[in-house]
Amino acid sequence: MNIDQLKQVIEMLDASSVNELSLETEAYTLKLKKQGEALVAPPQQYASAPVHVQAQSPVPAAAAETSSEVEVDDTVTINALMVGTFYSRPNPDKPSFVNVGDRIEVGQVVCILEAMKLFNNLNAEVAGTVVEVLVEDGDLVEFGQPLFRVRP
């Protein structure tokens, strides 16, 4: 990445609602935060990009008492680590990395996020069954946006 590209990334971050951006290549890892903190480090310091997995909020006790047919959502989400374009497959001629009903393992690639011609694999940090794919192939996604629902 040259200095002009870096300036462009910083300007895009400033203009967006995103507070933090991470880019990783074989040569470097770049992490920018709007608070002014920036870190450029060699990739060996980051084994793989972390996948933020958040449990869905439980059903409130009062709501559970009012209906005997309330389902408890025991799924977790796999969220986007950066702003970019979501790709469900390695290229248009190949099948999707994962589909609804597939069993995934920790570390398995579940999609690709592309930003500024940098393609980043998103690896699962939870093993389970894919319950729902929340975005379409080619959609623009925001940082922290849920991409998959997984039942551990």
DSSP E strand stretches across the chain? 20-24, 29-33, 38-41, 53-55, 76-79, 84-87, 103-104, 109-115, 118-123, 128-133, 140-141, 146-151
| Residue predicted with more confidence, 138 or 57 | 138
The pLDDT score that the predictor gives to residue 46 is: 38
In 1-152, alpha helices (H)? 3-15, 61-66
Task: Please identify which residue in the block is written with the tokens 């002014």.
Answer: 36
When mean pLDDT is compared across 3-7, 77-81, 116-120, the lowest value belongs to 3-7
When mean pLDDT is compared across 14-18, 44-48, 60-64, 91-95, the lowest value belongs to 44-48
User: 48-152: which CATH number, 3.20.20.120, 2.40.50.100, 3.70.10.10, 3.10.180.10?
Assistant: 2.40.50.100
When mean pLDDT is compared across 16-30, 59-73, 76-90, 95-109, the lowest value belongs to 59-73
Q: Please state the domain extents for the chain.
A: 1-47, 48-152
Q: pTM for the whole thing?
A: 0.54
Which band of pLDDT confidence, cut at 50, 70 and 90, is reported for residue 79?
A: very high
